[in-house]
Amino acid sequence: PFWIMVLFLLYSSLGFFAVPYFVKKEISQIVSNNYNSNIDIEKLSFNPYRLTTNIKKVTLTDKDQQLWFSADTVHVNFSLIKTIFNNTHISEITLDNPHYHLLLTQKNGLANLRYPQITPANNDNSEPIKLDIENININQGSVSYLDQTSDKILKLSFKKVGFKNIDFSTD
């Protein structure tokens, strides 16, 4: 019983305290390296018993500090059983009050998406992230669209959008 209690306390403390630190650090590195952006997260929490992650007040800015994505909360629920036998499986992603600023600019006569500026992997041996996602829920979000190539401006607000995916994978 003593060692079971020690293992339980170790698992709990690592899950609740260490995992958020390392996840936040890894997310910051991925966003910086792959999307040429900075991420600011007010609070990241992880529940090791339910395998859920909650992120509060997330913002993404480009290198010029221009905000291009924000959300009040992001909730991710992992499925351990399906992940063990396949790709990383996410049973649900919920975004509360997300905003995406879509900006098209003119460069060399072509329209280019300004955010995010995706950096191709420098290493040909790198393996892309493989995710299977079941449900995506978006609550009260908005998208603003500015096309500088034709002076089009659009702001779209929505109350709730849900996607139930069957066999969706980034593989």
Amino acid at 111: A
Please work out, in degrees rounded to the nearest 5, the angle formed at the alpha carbon of residue 56 by the alpha carbons of 53 and 62: 105
Q: Measured between alpha carbons, how far is 81 from 145 in angstroms, rounded to an integer?
A: 40
Strand residues in 13-151 grouped as ranges (E)? 37-47, 52-62, 67-78, 88-96, 99-107, 110-113, 131-147
Per the model's pLDDT, the better-predicted residue between 108 and 128 turns out to be 108
**pLDDT (tens digit, 9 = 90+) per residue, 86-115?**
788 899 999 999 999 988 887 777 777 777
Q: Dihedral sign for Cα 100, 96, 55, 169, please.
A: negative
Greater pLDDT, 169 or 85: 85
Q: Above 90 in pLDDT, residue 147?
A: no
Task: Give the closest residue to 142 by CA, choosing from 165, 160, 117, 116.
Answer: 160
